[in-house]
Amino acid sequence: MQKEKQNSIFSAGYWHEATHQLKDVKMITVAALIVALRIAVKFLKIQLAPGLNISLDGYVNSLGSIVYGPVVGLVVGAISDTLGCLITGRMGEYFPPFVLVEMSSSFIFALFFWRRKINIRSTMTAKFTVNFVSNIILTSIFNKWMYFIYYGLEKAQAYNIINGTRIVKNLVMFPLEATLIVAVFTFALPVLTRLKLVDKNLCYLEKPSTKRLVLELVGFTALSVALIVFYVFFLKDFVSGLNIKIW
């Protein structure tokens, strides 16, 4: 009971331990590796259908969050975004507030995964939250802001902050993305535990019966495929017109 209370995100002990990771050489080494991997895969995407892609960055990001927690996650998000733009020569297109998108996704993943029991339901909730907060809300707001700063009021007014296509695409993709994260964790967590990067008593993958695990994975994969097919053949053209101008 005491251990559960200590690992609550509402406890001072949790944030003390999360901050302490900044002083741990092993955690900083892992963080540096994750930054390098995130930069390497930042622009690598797997296209499932026109307009629907899976970004490999999210899987590296979620894996790192298991190891070093939310505070280091914020730093990793900031550094990987800035260095990524520098190394790829995209600093001319760099808009500083977008760093908060990367930081928020790292932070959210860590809140759900660091020192937590992980299962497909918690992973679904984590990926939905990242897609909703980081990819829909923050990205939309900062895009609007960027258009105003770089291109002026007229361009900014033409940009629809509530973009139907972006919203639907993120909602369609998150079940498949979450299922793939579970698959990555299934292979990676035992390795991280053996390397003593993860405490198996605090962070572990819930092991339901084989039948239940298969049913969950097959069920969510089928749901993902159905949503993608439905989007491509029925929703894509329809939602492109569902853009709402707030300001």
> Domain containing 43 — which CATH number?
1.10.1760.20
CA distances (Å), origin 242, targets 15, 41, 131, 164, 165:
41, 32, 19, 5, 8
Q: What does the alpha-carbon distance between residue 194 and residue 189 come to, in Å, rounded to a whole number?
A: 9
At 117-165, the pLDDT tens digits run 888 889 989 999 999 999 888 988 888 888 888 777 777 666 666 666 6
Q: With helix as H, strand as E and coil as C, how does the chain read?
A: CHHHHHCCCCCHHHHHHHHHHHHCHHHHHHHHHHHHHHHHHCCCEEEEECCEEEECHHHHHHHHHHHHHHHHHHHHHHHHHHHHHHHCCCHHHCCHHHHHHHHHHHHHHHHHHCCCEECHHHHHHHHHHHHHHHHHHHHHHHHHHHHHHHHCHHHHHHCCCEEHHHHHHHHHHHHHHHHHHHHHHHHHHHHHHHCCCCCCCCCEECCCCHHHHHHHHHHHHHHHHHHHHHHHHHHHHHHCCCEECCC
Question: Which residue would you say has higher pLDDT here, 212 or 122?
Answer: 122
Q: How many domains does the chain have?
A: 1
At 64-84, the pLDDT tens digits run 999 999 999 999 999 998 888
Q: Specify whether the CB–CB gap between 179 and 218 falls below 8 A.
A: no
Per-residue pLDDT, 105: 95
Q: Specify whether the CB–CB gap between 147 and 156 falls below 8 A.
A: yes
Per-residue pLDDT, 45: 79
Mean per-residue pLDDT of the chain: 82
CA distances (Å), origin 137, targets 32, 75, 234:
28, 21, 25
At 214-235, the pLDDT tens digits run 777 777 778 777 877 777 666 6
pLDDT at 36 over 60: yes
- Its domain, for residue 183, covers 2-244
Beta-bridge mates of residue 117: 204
